[in-house]
Amino acid sequence: MQKLLVCYKWVLDEQDIKVTGDLSLDTGRAKYKISDYDKNAVEAGVLLGEQHGVSVEALTFGTAAVKQSLKDALSRGLDKVYWIGDAAAEQADAFVTANILAGAIKKAGPYDLILCGEGSADSYSQQTAPRLATLLGIPAITFVRQLSVADGRVTAIRKLGDCTEEVTVTGPAVISVLPEINKPRIPGLKQVMAAAKKPSEEVKVADLGLAAGELAPKVRSLSVKGYVMDRKKVIFKEANQADNVAKLVASLAQEGLC
């Protein structure tokens, strides 16, 4: 194994998004961050890089604002970041995103492993990794909760509903990881300062050789509204707490929730 790549997305911090009276979203004061799911992918890539002494690069696609992510990404142990800041990201779906990422990877690669988060914090379509693998003509392993590399072979434990599956593949491959795979590191002052000296490179969509149809989204978002849950507000007031618990369980069972 010689070189790894991690794909990440620069998204609005959901904690800063406000739901207004008409259920529209107010993002005026929302800051950006690396998607929490992608932080797990970055950590997984950096850990493998440290274990095997190989270079770990990253690739991100977004609007012009994505350039703000470079310092944070590089402070997390990455060696280099390729970034694509283009207005096409405003309406890009998984189809467009995968096409652009694949085009950039073909120019910057090859890579032994390409890691992604299982989904992004904003849309969570879970399509980008499988689409990317198809475009690159390499295997995809999704829902990965544990990952190791030995003797040129990748072994992954996948979480599938109420069971797990062990998969072994010879790279290159695209791996999408679950949040439970690790706990992302919090960069210290030393790492943040060192990030300023690490390389980054801008990639232009126009240089990827993509046709117009490959940049036309298949899905367009017309509007996004907040969700309001209508609670039943059932209160159990029995003196004996065991009776309250029994009634709660019976009520949940009646609703088909347990």
Lowest mean pLDDT among 5-9, 152-156, 228-232, 247-251: 228-232
Q: Locate the DSSP E strands across the chain.
A: 3-8, 10-12, 18-19, 25-26, 32-34, 55-62, 80-85, 113-117, 140-150, 153-160, 163-170, 173-177, 200-202
The pLDDT assigned to 222 comes to: 80
Lowest mean pLDDT among 35-44, 102-111, 132-141, 236-245: 236-245
**Confidence at 258, pLDDT banded by 50, 70, 90:** low
The SS3 of residue 56 is strand
Q: Cis before residue 110, ω within 30 degrees of 0? A: yes
Q: Name residue 229's amino acid.
A: M
The pLDDT assigned to 2 comes to: 86
Options 3.40.50.620, 2.60.120.10, 3.40.50.80, 2.160.10.10; which CATH number does 3-215 get? 3.40.50.620
Which residues make Cβ contacts (< 8 Å) with residue 181, sequence separation at least 6?
Answer: 40, 43, 44, 144, 145, 146, 147
pTM, two decimals, is 0.83
Domain residue spans in the chain? 3-215, 229-258
**Rounded CA separation 193/196 (Å):** 6
**Rounded CA separation 94/214 (Å):** 11
The token duo for 119 is 């989904």
pLDDT digits (tens, 9 = 90+) for 97-107: 999 999 999 99
pLDDT digits (tens, 9 = 90+) for 178-219: 999 999 999 999 999 999 999 999 999 999 999 999 999 988
Average pLDDT, the chain: 91
The pLDDT assigned to 101 comes to: 96
Cβ pair 146, 38 in contact under 8 A: no
